[in-house]
Structure 1
Amino acid sequence: MLPSPFLLIHGFGSAWKQWQHNILPLSRYAPVYALDLLGFGWSEKAATVYNSRLWLEQIYDFWAQFIQRPIILVGHSLGALVAATVAVDRANMVQRLILVTVPNTRQDMISAPWLQASVGTLERLFTSPLLVRLIFKLARQPRFIRSALQSVYKKSDRVTDSLVSQFVIPTSDRGAAQTLCRLTQSATQPNYSASRQSLLGAISQPTLIIWGLADNIVPLKGCEAEMAANPQITLTTIPEAGHCLYDECADEFNQAIAQWLG
Protein backbone atom coordinates (compact mmCIF):
# COMPACT_ATOMS: atom_id res chain seq x y z
CA MET A 1 0.00 0.00 0.00
CA LEU A 2 1.28 3.45 -0.90
CA PRO A 3 2.02 5.76 2.07
CA SER A 4 -0.36 8.64 2.67
CA PRO A 5 1.06 11.80 1.10
CA PHE A 6 1.59 15.04 2.99
CA LEU A 7 -0.23 18.24 2.05
CA LEU A 8 1.26 21.38 3.64
CA ILE A 9 -0.82 24.52 4.28
CA HIS A 10 0.98 27.76 5.21
CA GLY A 11 -0.12 30.52 7.58
CA PHE A 12 -1.30 34.12 7.14
CA GLY A 13 0.96 36.17 4.87
CA SER A 14 3.17 33.20 4.06
CA ALA A 15 3.52 30.85 1.09
CA TRP A 16 4.43 27.27 0.26
CA LYS A 17 8.14 28.12 -0.09
CA GLN A 18 8.46 28.65 3.64
CA TRP A 19 8.24 24.85 3.99
CA GLN A 20 11.57 24.60 2.14
CA HIS A 21 13.35 22.90 5.07
CA ASN A 22 10.56 20.34 5.55
CA ILE A 23 9.64 19.15 2.07
CA LEU A 24 12.73 17.04 1.40
CA PRO A 25 12.93 15.43 4.89
CA LEU A 26 9.21 14.57 4.84
CA SER A 27 9.49 13.19 1.30
CA ARG A 28 11.59 10.35 2.72
CA TYR A 29 8.37 8.99 4.22
CA ALA A 30 5.79 9.89 1.57
CA PRO A 31 5.12 12.24 -1.35
CA VAL A 32 4.79 15.89 -0.30
CA TYR A 33 2.47 18.51 -1.76
CA ALA A 34 2.24 22.18 -0.79
CA LEU A 35 0.05 24.96 -2.13
CA ASP A 36 -0.51 28.68 -1.72
CA LEU A 37 -3.91 29.58 -0.34
CA LEU A 38 -5.91 32.01 -2.44
CA GLY A 39 -4.84 35.56 -1.62
CA PHE A 40 -1.34 34.58 -0.48
CA GLY A 41 2.05 33.81 -1.97
CA TRP A 42 1.99 33.09 -5.68
CA SER A 43 -1.72 32.30 -5.72
CA GLU A 44 -4.31 34.57 -7.34
CA LYS A 45 -5.24 37.73 -5.44
CA ALA A 46 -8.91 37.07 -6.11
CA ALA A 47 -11.73 39.58 -5.66
CA THR A 48 -13.73 37.44 -3.25
CA VAL A 49 -14.70 36.99 0.39
CA TYR A 50 -11.92 35.14 2.20
CA ASN A 51 -12.73 32.58 4.89
CA SER A 52 -12.06 29.00 5.91
CA ARG A 53 -14.83 27.68 3.67
CA LEU A 54 -13.22 29.23 0.59
CA TRP A 55 -9.83 27.74 1.41
CA LEU A 56 -11.45 24.40 2.30
CA GLU A 57 -12.96 24.20 -1.19
CA GLN A 58 -9.62 25.21 -2.75
CA ILE A 59 -7.83 22.44 -0.87
CA TYR A 60 -10.54 19.92 -1.72
CA ASP A 61 -10.31 20.81 -5.43
CA PHE A 62 -6.52 20.43 -5.33
CA TRP A 63 -6.82 17.08 -3.54
CA ALA A 64 -9.49 15.80 -5.95
CA GLN A 65 -7.40 16.73 -8.99
CA PHE A 66 -3.90 15.70 -7.92
CA ILE A 67 -4.03 13.29 -4.95
CA GLN A 68 -7.35 11.43 -4.64
CA ARG A 69 -6.41 9.38 -1.57
CA PRO A 70 -6.29 10.04 2.18
CA ILE A 71 -3.56 12.45 3.23
CA ILE A 72 -1.55 13.63 6.20
CA LEU A 73 -2.69 17.25 6.33
CA VAL A 74 -0.28 19.76 7.89
CA GLY A 75 -1.29 23.36 8.65
CA HIS A 76 0.44 26.28 10.36
CA SER A 77 -1.43 29.02 12.29
CA LEU A 78 -4.21 30.21 9.94
CA GLY A 79 -3.38 27.12 7.91
CA ALA A 80 -3.96 25.04 11.06
CA LEU A 81 -7.48 26.43 11.38
CA VAL A 82 -8.10 25.68 7.71
CA ALA A 83 -6.60 22.19 8.02
CA ALA A 84 -8.77 21.45 11.05
CA THR A 85 -11.81 22.66 9.09
CA VAL A 86 -10.93 20.27 6.26
CA ALA A 87 -10.41 17.38 8.69
CA VAL A 88 -13.82 17.97 10.27
CA ASP A 89 -15.85 18.69 7.13
CA ARG A 90 -14.05 16.41 4.65
CA ALA A 91 -13.03 13.63 7.01
CA ASN A 92 -12.61 11.12 4.18
CA MET A 93 -9.70 13.20 2.84
CA VAL A 94 -7.61 13.18 6.00
CA GLN A 95 -5.98 10.11 7.52
CA ARG A 96 -3.87 12.07 10.01
CA LEU A 97 -3.67 15.71 10.98
CA ILE A 98 -0.70 17.83 12.07
CA LEU A 99 -1.42 21.33 13.40
CA VAL A 100 1.44 23.75 13.97
CA THR A 101 0.20 26.31 16.53
CA VAL A 102 -3.57 26.85 16.48
CA PRO A 103 -4.65 30.48 16.93
CA ASN A 104 -7.71 31.75 18.68
CA THR A 105 -10.53 32.90 16.43
CA ARG A 106 -12.75 35.92 16.86
CA GLN A 107 -15.43 33.71 18.44
CA ASP A 108 -12.93 32.39 21.00
CA MET A 109 -11.84 35.87 22.04
CA ILE A 110 -15.11 37.81 21.80
CA SER A 111 -17.99 35.67 23.02
CA ALA A 112 -20.18 38.17 24.91
CA PRO A 113 -22.77 39.92 22.67
CA TRP A 114 -22.17 43.31 24.30
CA LEU A 115 -18.45 43.00 23.65
CA GLN A 116 -19.01 41.98 20.04
CA ALA A 117 -20.87 45.22 19.37
CA SER A 118 -18.12 47.37 20.90
CA VAL A 119 -15.32 45.50 19.18
CA GLY A 120 -17.21 45.59 15.87
CA THR A 121 -17.07 49.38 15.88
CA LEU A 122 -13.30 49.34 16.40
CA GLU A 123 -12.86 46.66 13.74
CA ARG A 124 -14.67 48.74 11.15
CA LEU A 125 -12.41 51.66 11.98
CA PHE A 126 -9.14 49.76 11.79
CA THR A 127 -10.05 47.70 8.71
CA SER A 128 -11.12 50.66 6.59
CA PRO A 129 -9.65 50.35 3.07
CA LEU A 130 -7.87 53.71 3.34
CA LEU A 131 -6.03 52.73 6.52
CA VAL A 132 -5.24 49.23 5.28
CA ARG A 133 -3.79 50.60 2.03
CA LEU A 134 -1.55 52.97 3.99
CA ILE A 135 -0.37 50.06 6.12
CA PHE A 136 0.19 47.99 2.98
CA LYS A 137 2.52 50.64 1.51
CA LEU A 138 4.62 50.49 4.67
CA ALA A 139 4.42 46.76 5.23
CA ARG A 140 5.61 45.84 1.72
CA GLN A 141 9.01 47.50 2.30
CA PRO A 142 11.81 44.92 2.69
CA ARG A 143 13.23 46.57 5.82
CA PHE A 144 9.79 46.51 7.47
CA ILE A 145 9.27 42.85 6.58
CA ARG A 146 12.75 41.96 7.84
CA SER A 147 12.08 43.71 11.15
CA ALA A 148 8.69 42.01 11.50
CA LEU A 149 10.17 38.58 10.81
CA GLN A 150 12.98 39.15 13.30
CA SER A 151 10.38 39.88 15.96
CA VAL A 152 8.57 36.63 15.12
CA TYR A 153 11.61 34.36 14.81
CA LYS A 154 13.33 33.39 18.04
CA LYS A 155 16.46 32.69 16.00
CA SER A 156 16.87 35.95 14.11
CA ASP A 157 19.78 34.59 12.05
CA ARG A 158 17.19 32.49 10.20
CA VAL A 159 15.75 35.69 8.72
CA THR A 160 17.74 35.67 5.47
CA ASP A 161 17.47 37.80 2.34
CA SER A 162 15.82 34.84 0.64
CA LEU A 163 13.16 34.59 3.35
CA VAL A 164 12.45 38.32 3.21
CA SER A 165 12.04 38.16 -0.57
CA GLN A 166 9.45 35.39 -0.19
CA PHE A 167 7.26 37.89 1.63
CA VAL A 168 8.14 40.92 -0.52
CA ILE A 169 7.58 39.53 -4.02
CA PRO A 170 3.84 38.68 -3.69
CA THR A 171 3.09 42.28 -2.61
CA SER A 172 3.78 43.36 -6.19
CA ASP A 173 1.03 41.14 -7.60
CA ARG A 174 -1.92 42.80 -9.24
CA GLY A 175 -4.66 43.29 -6.66
CA ALA A 176 -2.40 42.65 -3.65
CA ALA A 177 -3.43 45.81 -1.78
CA GLN A 178 -7.13 45.21 -2.36
CA THR A 179 -6.71 41.60 -1.28
CA LEU A 180 -5.21 42.71 2.03
CA CYS A 181 -8.27 44.93 2.53
CA ARG A 182 -10.56 41.97 1.87
CA LEU A 183 -8.55 39.68 4.14
CA THR A 184 -8.59 42.08 7.09
CA GLN A 185 -12.30 42.76 6.68
CA SER A 186 -13.13 39.06 6.29
CA ALA A 187 -11.20 38.20 9.46
CA THR A 188 -13.67 40.27 11.51
CA GLN A 189 -16.69 38.29 10.31
CA PRO A 190 -18.23 35.41 12.32
CA ASN A 191 -18.04 33.08 9.31
CA TYR A 192 -14.29 33.58 8.86
CA SER A 193 -13.66 30.37 10.80
CA ALA A 194 -15.30 28.12 13.32
CA SER A 195 -13.93 28.59 16.82
CA ARG A 196 -10.73 26.84 17.80
CA GLN A 197 -12.50 25.08 20.64
CA SER A 198 -15.23 23.66 18.40
CA LEU A 199 -12.74 22.55 15.74
CA LEU A 200 -10.42 20.79 18.19
CA GLY A 201 -13.38 19.11 19.83
CA ALA A 202 -14.72 17.78 16.52
CA ILE A 203 -11.51 16.28 15.11
CA SER A 204 -11.83 12.50 14.68
CA GLN A 205 -8.44 11.67 13.17
CA PRO A 206 -5.18 11.03 15.05
CA THR A 207 -3.75 14.52 15.45
CA LEU A 208 -0.35 15.90 16.39
CA ILE A 209 -0.15 19.51 17.55
CA ILE A 210 3.34 21.04 17.57
CA TRP A 211 3.96 24.31 19.42
CA GLY A 212 7.00 26.48 20.00
CA LEU A 213 7.34 27.42 23.66
CA ALA A 214 8.85 30.79 22.68
CA ASP A 215 5.96 31.67 20.34
CA ASN A 216 5.08 35.31 21.07
CA ILE A 217 2.38 35.47 18.39
CA VAL A 218 0.20 32.51 19.41
CA PRO A 219 1.26 31.42 22.92
CA LEU A 220 0.40 27.90 24.01
CA LYS A 221 -1.19 29.06 27.27
CA GLY A 222 -4.96 28.78 27.13
CA CYS A 223 -5.14 25.97 24.59
CA GLU A 224 -4.09 23.04 26.77
CA ALA A 225 -7.58 22.28 28.11
CA GLU A 226 -9.09 22.36 24.62
CA MET A 227 -6.50 19.86 23.39
CA ALA A 228 -6.79 17.62 26.45
CA ALA A 229 -10.54 17.27 25.90
CA ASN A 230 -9.97 15.29 22.69
CA PRO A 231 -8.16 11.93 23.13
CA GLN A 232 -7.17 11.95 19.45
CA ILE A 233 -4.83 14.89 20.04
CA THR A 234 -1.16 14.58 21.03
CA LEU A 235 0.80 17.72 21.95
CA THR A 236 4.52 18.12 21.31
CA THR A 237 6.43 21.28 22.21
CA ILE A 238 9.79 22.58 21.03
CA PRO A 239 11.72 24.75 23.53
CA GLU A 240 13.27 27.98 22.24
CA ALA A 241 11.12 27.83 19.10
CA GLY A 242 9.03 30.78 17.97
CA HIS A 243 5.95 31.07 15.80
CA CYS A 244 7.56 29.74 12.60
CA LEU A 245 9.08 26.73 14.34
CA TYR A 246 8.88 24.51 11.24
CA ASP A 247 11.40 26.86 9.60
CA GLU A 248 13.66 28.08 12.40
CA CYS A 249 13.78 24.68 14.18
CA ALA A 250 13.27 22.49 11.14
CA ASP A 251 15.33 19.52 12.34
CA GLU A 252 13.43 19.25 15.63
CA PHE A 253 10.13 19.80 13.85
CA ASN A 254 10.76 17.13 11.22
CA GLN A 255 11.95 14.71 13.91
CA ALA A 256 8.79 15.29 15.97
CA ILE A 257 6.69 14.30 12.97
CA ALA A 258 8.84 11.26 12.23
CA GLN A 259 8.56 10.03 15.83
CA TRP A 260 4.80 10.51 15.86
CA LEU A 261 4.34 8.65 12.58
CA GLY A 262 6.43 5.80 13.96
Structure 2
Amino acid sequence: MDVSVETDKQGRSRVRYEKAGWNFWEWQGHRAHYITAGTQGPPVLLIHGYGASAYHWRYQIPALAQHYRVFALDLLGFGWSEKALVEYSSGGLWGQQIGDFIKEVVHAGGASSSSSSSSEQVVLVGNSLGGYACLNAAVKSPELIRGVALLNSAGPLQDSDAPELAEPLPVPWYGGIRDGLTAVVKRVVLYFAFQRAKQPERIKEVLQMVYSSNDTIDEDLVDSIVVPASDPSAAEVFYRINSSKAPSVSVNQLLKQMRGSRLPLLLLWGDLDPWITPKRADRIQQLYPEAERVRLQSGHCPHDDTPEEANAALLEWLERVYKR
Protein backbone atom coordinates (compact mmCIF):
# COMPACT_ATOMS: atom_id res chain seq x y z
CA MET A 1 0.00 0.00 0.00
CA ASP A 2 1.52 3.32 -1.09
CA VAL A 3 -0.87 5.46 0.95
CA SER A 4 -0.61 6.49 4.58
CA VAL A 5 -3.50 5.37 6.75
CA GLU A 6 -4.87 7.04 9.86
CA THR A 7 -7.64 6.36 12.37
CA ASP A 8 -10.57 8.76 12.67
CA LYS A 9 -12.30 9.79 15.90
CA GLN A 10 -14.58 6.77 15.71
CA GLY A 11 -11.63 4.37 15.35
CA ARG A 12 -12.17 3.73 11.62
CA SER A 13 -9.22 3.38 9.24
CA ARG A 14 -8.99 5.76 6.33
CA VAL A 15 -6.45 7.28 3.91
CA ARG A 16 -4.48 10.17 5.36
CA TYR A 17 -5.13 13.35 3.42
CA GLU A 18 -2.33 14.61 1.16
CA LYS A 19 -2.96 18.13 -0.12
CA ALA A 20 -0.65 17.63 -3.12
CA GLY A 21 -2.34 14.40 -4.18
CA TRP A 22 -0.87 10.94 -4.81
CA ASN A 23 -0.17 9.55 -8.32
CA PHE A 24 -0.47 11.08 -11.79
CA TRP A 25 -1.03 9.64 -15.26
CA GLU A 26 -0.86 11.30 -18.67
CA TRP A 27 -4.06 10.84 -20.66
CA GLN A 28 -4.69 12.40 -24.09
CA GLY A 29 -2.25 15.19 -23.27
CA HIS A 30 -3.85 15.90 -19.89
CA ARG A 31 -2.69 15.15 -16.35
CA ALA A 32 -4.98 12.79 -14.45
CA HIS A 33 -4.73 11.84 -10.79
CA TYR A 34 -5.34 8.57 -8.96
CA ILE A 35 -4.74 6.75 -5.68
CA THR A 36 -3.76 3.10 -5.57
CA ALA A 37 -3.24 0.57 -2.79
CA GLY A 38 -2.94 -3.19 -2.40
CA THR A 39 -0.51 -5.52 -4.16
CA GLN A 40 -2.51 -8.74 -4.50
CA GLY A 41 -5.91 -9.81 -5.71
CA PRO A 42 -8.22 -8.72 -8.53
CA PRO A 43 -8.56 -5.01 -9.39
CA VAL A 44 -11.33 -2.67 -8.20
CA LEU A 45 -11.68 0.86 -9.60
CA LEU A 46 -13.51 3.55 -7.61
CA ILE A 47 -15.04 6.60 -9.33
CA HIS A 48 -16.12 9.67 -7.33
CA GLY A 49 -19.16 11.90 -7.79
CA TYR A 50 -19.59 15.48 -8.95
CA GLY A 51 -17.35 17.97 -7.15
CA ALA A 52 -15.55 15.21 -5.25
CA SER A 53 -12.29 13.35 -5.85
CA ALA A 54 -10.48 10.05 -5.38
CA TYR A 55 -9.97 11.02 -1.74
CA HIS A 56 -13.72 10.63 -1.19
CA TRP A 57 -13.02 6.86 -1.13
CA ARG A 58 -10.73 7.32 1.89
CA TYR A 59 -12.57 4.69 3.97
CA GLN A 60 -12.84 2.12 1.17
CA ILE A 61 -9.22 2.13 -0.04
CA PRO A 62 -7.60 0.59 3.08
CA ALA A 63 -10.50 -1.83 3.65
CA LEU A 64 -10.55 -3.12 0.06
CA ALA A 65 -6.74 -3.19 -0.24
CA GLN A 66 -6.61 -6.09 2.21
CA HIS A 67 -8.11 -8.29 -0.51
CA TYR A 68 -7.88 -6.39 -3.81
CA ARG A 69 -5.70 -4.09 -5.87
CA VAL A 70 -7.57 -0.83 -5.45
CA PHE A 71 -7.53 2.23 -7.69
CA ALA A 72 -9.45 5.47 -7.21
CA LEU A 73 -9.41 7.77 -10.24
CA ASP A 74 -10.10 11.49 -10.52
CA LEU A 75 -12.23 12.13 -13.58
CA LEU A 76 -10.88 14.80 -15.90
CA GLY A 77 -12.01 18.21 -14.62
CA PHE A 78 -12.27 17.07 -11.00
CA GLY A 79 -10.06 16.48 -7.99
CA TRP A 80 -6.35 16.69 -8.68
CA SER A 81 -6.87 15.86 -12.36
CA GLU A 82 -6.33 18.67 -14.86
CA LYS A 83 -9.17 21.16 -15.30
CA ALA A 84 -8.99 20.58 -19.01
CA LEU A 85 -10.95 22.90 -21.32
CA VAL A 86 -12.66 20.17 -23.32
CA GLU A 87 -16.26 19.12 -24.07
CA TYR A 88 -17.78 17.46 -21.00
CA SER A 89 -21.37 17.05 -22.18
CA SER A 90 -22.37 13.44 -22.55
CA GLY A 91 -20.41 11.38 -20.03
CA GLY A 92 -18.68 9.57 -22.87
CA LEU A 93 -15.40 11.39 -22.22
CA TRP A 94 -15.17 9.97 -18.71
CA GLY A 95 -16.20 6.52 -19.92
CA GLN A 96 -13.28 6.62 -22.36
CA GLN A 97 -10.94 7.85 -19.62
CA ILE A 98 -11.92 4.95 -17.37
CA GLY A 99 -11.38 2.39 -20.13
CA ASP A 100 -7.97 3.79 -21.01
CA PHE A 101 -6.99 3.95 -17.33
CA ILE A 102 -7.76 0.24 -16.99
CA LYS A 103 -5.66 -0.62 -20.03
CA GLU A 104 -2.75 1.72 -19.35
CA VAL A 105 -2.50 1.83 -15.55
CA VAL A 106 -4.43 -1.04 -13.97
CA HIS A 107 -3.12 -3.63 -16.43
CA ALA A 108 0.37 -2.17 -16.03
CA GLY A 109 0.17 -2.82 -12.30
CA GLY A 110 -0.35 0.79 -11.18
CA ALA A 111 2.16 2.45 -8.90
CA SER A 112 2.15 -0.15 -6.17
CA SER A 113 1.26 -3.53 -7.59
CA SER A 114 3.59 -6.32 -8.56
CA SER A 115 0.74 -8.49 -9.80
CA SER A 116 -1.20 -7.66 -12.95
CA SER A 117 -2.53 -9.27 -16.07
CA SER A 118 -3.58 -7.71 -19.36
CA SER A 119 -6.62 -10.02 -19.37
CA GLU A 120 -7.90 -9.08 -15.91
CA GLN A 121 -11.36 -7.62 -15.71
CA VAL A 122 -12.09 -4.81 -13.30
CA VAL A 123 -15.06 -4.14 -11.03
CA LEU A 124 -16.20 -0.52 -11.26
CA VAL A 125 -17.66 1.25 -8.24
CA GLY A 126 -19.19 4.69 -8.79
CA ASN A 127 -21.02 7.26 -6.69
CA SER A 128 -23.45 9.83 -8.15
CA LEU A 129 -21.96 11.20 -11.40
CA GLY A 130 -19.23 8.56 -11.06
CA GLY A 131 -21.89 5.87 -11.36
CA TYR A 132 -23.02 7.32 -14.68
CA ALA A 133 -19.38 7.40 -15.84
CA CYS A 134 -19.03 3.74 -14.85
CA LEU A 135 -22.08 2.77 -16.90
CA ASN A 136 -20.61 4.58 -19.89
CA ALA A 137 -17.31 2.72 -19.42
CA ALA A 138 -19.05 -0.65 -19.05
CA VAL A 139 -20.86 -0.12 -22.35
CA LYS A 140 -17.82 1.24 -24.21
CA SER A 141 -15.44 -1.49 -22.99
CA PRO A 142 -17.43 -4.51 -21.70
CA GLU A 143 -14.44 -6.80 -22.22
CA LEU A 144 -12.59 -4.91 -19.48
CA ILE A 145 -15.36 -4.98 -16.87
CA ARG A 146 -16.28 -7.74 -14.39
CA GLY A 147 -19.17 -5.93 -12.70
CA VAL A 148 -20.52 -2.52 -11.69
CA ALA A 149 -21.59 -1.19 -8.29
CA LEU A 150 -23.67 1.99 -8.23
CA LEU A 151 -23.92 4.14 -5.11
CA ASN A 152 -26.78 6.62 -5.53
CA SER A 153 -25.92 6.92 -9.19
CA ALA A 154 -26.81 9.97 -11.32
CA GLY A 155 -27.49 10.42 -15.03
CA PRO A 156 -30.59 11.07 -17.19
CA LEU A 157 -33.17 8.39 -16.38
CA GLN A 158 -36.59 8.00 -17.96
CA ASP A 159 -39.60 7.08 -15.85
CA SER A 160 -41.22 5.26 -18.76
CA ASP A 161 -40.24 3.41 -21.91
CA ALA A 162 -40.71 6.48 -24.10
CA PRO A 163 -38.06 7.28 -26.75
CA GLU A 164 -34.59 7.84 -25.35
CA LEU A 165 -33.97 11.18 -23.66
CA ALA A 166 -31.82 13.73 -25.42
CA GLU A 167 -30.90 16.21 -22.70
CA PRO A 168 -27.74 17.51 -21.06
CA LEU A 169 -26.28 15.60 -18.17
CA PRO A 170 -27.98 16.76 -14.93
CA VAL A 171 -25.59 17.71 -12.16
CA PRO A 172 -27.09 17.51 -8.65
CA TRP A 173 -24.09 18.70 -6.61
CA TYR A 174 -24.48 22.43 -7.30
CA GLY A 175 -27.80 22.40 -9.11
CA GLY A 176 -28.29 23.26 -12.77
CA ILE A 177 -28.88 26.73 -14.19
CA ARG A 178 -29.65 26.13 -17.83
CA ASP A 179 -32.91 27.33 -19.27
CA GLY A 180 -34.22 30.76 -20.17
CA LEU A 181 -30.83 32.50 -20.07
CA THR A 182 -28.71 33.94 -22.86
CA ALA A 183 -25.18 32.58 -23.15
CA VAL A 184 -23.66 35.72 -21.66
CA VAL A 185 -26.11 35.91 -18.76
CA LYS A 186 -25.73 32.20 -18.13
CA ARG A 187 -21.96 32.51 -17.95
CA VAL A 188 -22.22 35.35 -15.44
CA VAL A 189 -24.80 33.53 -13.31
CA LEU A 190 -22.78 30.31 -13.32
CA TYR A 191 -19.60 32.19 -12.48
CA PHE A 192 -21.11 33.68 -9.35
CA ALA A 193 -22.80 30.38 -8.50
CA PHE A 194 -19.41 28.68 -8.66
CA GLN A 195 -17.74 31.35 -6.53
CA ARG A 196 -20.32 30.74 -3.83
CA ALA A 197 -20.32 26.97 -4.23
CA LYS A 198 -16.57 26.64 -3.67
CA GLN A 199 -16.55 28.47 -0.33
CA PRO A 200 -15.67 26.12 2.57
CA GLU A 201 -18.77 27.04 4.58
CA ARG A 202 -21.04 26.43 1.58
CA ILE A 203 -19.39 23.09 0.87
CA LYS A 204 -19.87 22.05 4.49
CA GLU A 205 -23.49 23.19 4.37
CA VAL A 206 -24.19 21.09 1.25
CA LEU A 207 -22.49 18.03 2.75
CA GLN A 208 -24.61 18.35 5.88
CA MET A 209 -27.72 18.48 3.69
CA VAL A 210 -26.94 15.19 1.95
CA TYR A 211 -25.19 13.16 4.67
CA SER A 212 -27.27 11.35 7.28
CA SER A 213 -24.62 12.06 9.94
CA ASN A 214 -21.96 14.71 10.48
CA ASP A 215 -19.43 12.22 11.88
CA THR A 216 -17.23 12.15 8.77
CA ILE A 217 -17.68 15.75 7.60
CA ASP A 218 -14.33 17.21 8.60
CA GLU A 219 -11.74 19.73 7.46
CA ASP A 220 -9.89 17.21 5.29
CA LEU A 221 -13.03 16.33 3.34
CA VAL A 222 -13.93 19.99 2.83
CA ASP A 223 -10.34 20.86 1.83
CA SER A 224 -10.30 18.04 -0.73
CA ILE A 225 -13.15 19.86 -2.49
CA VAL A 226 -11.86 23.40 -1.95
CA VAL A 227 -8.34 22.81 -3.32
CA PRO A 228 -9.39 21.56 -6.80
CA ALA A 229 -12.03 24.29 -7.02
CA SER A 230 -9.27 26.88 -6.56
CA ASP A 231 -7.65 25.94 -9.87
CA PRO A 232 -7.72 28.91 -12.32
CA SER A 233 -9.63 26.83 -14.89
CA ALA A 234 -12.12 25.30 -12.45
CA ALA A 235 -14.79 27.96 -13.03
CA GLU A 236 -14.64 27.41 -16.80
CA VAL A 237 -14.96 23.63 -16.37
CA PHE A 238 -17.97 24.22 -14.09
CA TYR A 239 -19.51 26.42 -16.79
CA ARG A 240 -18.90 23.88 -19.55
CA ILE A 241 -20.43 21.00 -17.60
CA ASN A 242 -23.48 22.97 -16.50
CA SER A 243 -24.19 24.90 -19.70
CA SER A 244 -23.80 22.20 -22.35
CA LYS A 245 -26.84 21.43 -24.48
CA ALA A 246 -25.33 18.35 -26.05
CA PRO A 247 -27.43 15.20 -25.49
CA SER A 248 -26.38 12.54 -23.02
CA VAL A 249 -27.10 8.84 -23.41
CA SER A 250 -29.87 7.89 -21.01
CA VAL A 251 -29.26 5.48 -18.16
CA ASN A 252 -32.08 3.39 -19.68
CA GLN A 253 -30.12 2.90 -22.88
CA LEU A 254 -26.87 2.18 -21.05
CA LEU A 255 -28.54 -0.46 -18.89
CA LYS A 256 -30.14 -2.02 -21.96
CA GLN A 257 -26.74 -2.38 -23.59
CA MET A 258 -25.16 -3.62 -20.36
CA ARG A 259 -27.71 -6.41 -20.08
CA GLY A 260 -26.32 -7.80 -23.30
CA SER A 261 -22.99 -8.30 -21.54
CA ARG A 262 -24.73 -9.89 -18.51
CA LEU A 263 -22.60 -7.88 -16.11
CA PRO A 264 -23.34 -8.19 -12.37
CA LEU A 265 -24.84 -4.96 -11.04
CA LEU A 266 -25.06 -3.86 -7.41
CA LEU A 267 -27.22 -0.98 -6.21
CA LEU A 268 -25.70 0.11 -2.91
CA TRP A 269 -28.19 2.82 -2.03
CA GLY A 270 -28.46 5.41 0.70
CA ASP A 271 -32.21 5.64 1.23
CA LEU A 272 -31.98 9.01 3.03
CA ASP A 273 -30.55 10.83 0.00
CA PRO A 274 -32.61 14.01 -0.66
CA TRP A 275 -31.20 14.32 -4.19
CA ILE A 276 -31.22 10.83 -5.68
CA THR A 277 -33.99 8.98 -3.88
CA PRO A 278 -34.80 5.25 -3.62
CA LYS A 279 -37.27 5.68 -6.51
CA ARG A 280 -34.30 5.84 -8.88
CA ALA A 281 -33.02 2.51 -7.58
CA ASP A 282 -36.53 1.08 -8.02
CA ARG A 283 -36.51 2.18 -11.66
CA ILE A 284 -33.04 0.78 -12.29
CA GLN A 285 -34.19 -2.57 -10.89
CA GLN A 286 -37.11 -2.52 -13.33
CA LEU A 287 -34.70 -1.96 -16.19
CA TYR A 288 -32.08 -4.41 -14.91
CA PRO A 289 -33.93 -7.14 -12.94
CA GLU A 290 -30.69 -9.05 -12.31
CA ALA A 291 -29.38 -6.19 -10.18
CA GLU A 292 -28.79 -6.83 -6.50
CA ARG A 293 -29.75 -4.13 -4.04
CA VAL A 294 -28.53 -3.24 -0.58
CA ARG A 295 -30.41 -0.47 1.20
CA LEU A 296 -28.53 1.65 3.74
CA GLN A 297 -29.77 4.24 6.21
CA SER A 298 -27.42 6.72 4.62
CA GLY A 299 -27.37 9.81 2.43
CA HIS A 300 -26.10 10.68 -1.04
CA CYS A 301 -22.55 9.39 -0.37
CA PRO A 302 -23.04 6.16 1.63
CA HIS A 303 -19.38 5.17 1.26
CA ASP A 304 -18.26 8.21 3.27
CA ASP A 305 -21.43 8.79 5.29
CA THR A 306 -21.75 5.24 6.68
CA PRO A 307 -18.44 3.65 5.65
CA GLU A 308 -18.56 0.54 7.83
CA GLU A 309 -21.93 -0.55 6.45
CA ALA A 310 -20.97 0.33 2.89
CA ASN A 311 -17.65 -1.53 3.13
CA ALA A 312 -19.29 -4.67 4.53
CA ALA A 313 -21.85 -4.78 1.71
CA LEU A 314 -19.29 -4.03 -0.98
CA LEU A 315 -16.81 -6.65 0.23
CA GLU A 316 -19.49 -9.33 0.40
CA TRP A 317 -20.65 -8.58 -3.14
CA LEU A 318 -17.11 -8.34 -4.56
CA GLU A 319 -16.24 -11.77 -3.17
CA ARG A 320 -19.19 -13.33 -4.99
CA VAL A 321 -18.56 -11.46 -8.22
CA TYR A 322 -14.94 -12.57 -8.42
CA LYS A 323 -15.85 -16.18 -7.64
CA ARG A 324 -18.15 -16.43 -10.66
Distance 1:102 1:27 in 2: 23
RMSD (Å), alpha carbons: 2.4
Matched, 1:199 2:254: yes
Counterpart among 86, 97, 103 of residue 137 in structure 2? 86
**Regions of 4+ moved over 4 Å:** 109-113
Q: Which residue of 2 aligns with 1:183?
A: 241
TM-score (norm 1): 0.88
Alignment of 1:23-172 (within 5 A): 23-50=61-88, 51-68=90-107, 69-105=120-156, 108=158, 123=179, 125=181, 128-172=186-230
Quick one: percent identity of the two aligned structures? 32
2:132 and 2:155 in contact (8 A); partners too: no
> Once the 2 structures are TM-superposed, how far is the Cα of residue 235 of structure 1 from its aligned partner?
1.0
> Once the 2 structures are TM-superposed, how far is the Cα of residue 3 of structure 1 from its aligned partner?
3.4
SS of 1:221's equivalent in the other structure is helix
Tell me the alpha carbon deviations over residues 13-69 of structure 1, each in whole angstroms, 9 at most, x when there is no partner. 110001000001011121000110011111111111103111112112211111233
Distance 2:207 2:97 in 1: 27
TM-score (norm 2): 0.72
The answer for unaligned runs of 5 or more in structure 2 is 1-39, 108-119, 168-176
2:212 and 2:272 in contact (8 A); partners too: yes
1:200 and 1:227 in contact (8 A); partners too: no
**CA separation of 1:3/1:13 partners in 2, compared to 1, >3 Å: closer, same or farther?**
same
Bigger fraction of residues in helix: 1
SS of 1:7's equivalent in the other structure is strand
1:41 and 1:167 in contact (8 A); partners too: yes
1:80 and 1:100 in contact (8 A); partners too: yes
2:42 and 2:68 in contact (8 A); partners too: yes
What amino acid sits opposite 2:216 in the alignment? R
**CA separation of 1:100/1:245 partners in 2, compared to 1, >3 Å: closer, same or farther?**
same
Counterpart among 260, 273, 283 of residue 215 in structure 1? 273
Aligned residues: 251
SS of 2:263's equivalent in the other structure is coil
Alignment of 1:237-256 (within 5 A): 237-239=295-297, 241-256=298-313
1:6 and 1:73 in contact (8 A); partners too: yes
What amino acid sits opposite 2:96 in the alignment? E
Distance 2:228 2:155 in 1: 26
Distance 1:122 1:94 in 2: 34
Higher RCO (C-alpha 8 Å, min separation 6): 1
> Once the 2 structures are TM-superposed, how far is the Cα of residue 242 of structure 1 from its aligned partner?
0.2
Tell me the alpha carbon deviations over residues 122-142 of structure 1, each in whole angstroms, 9 at most, x when there is no partner. 525287111111111111211
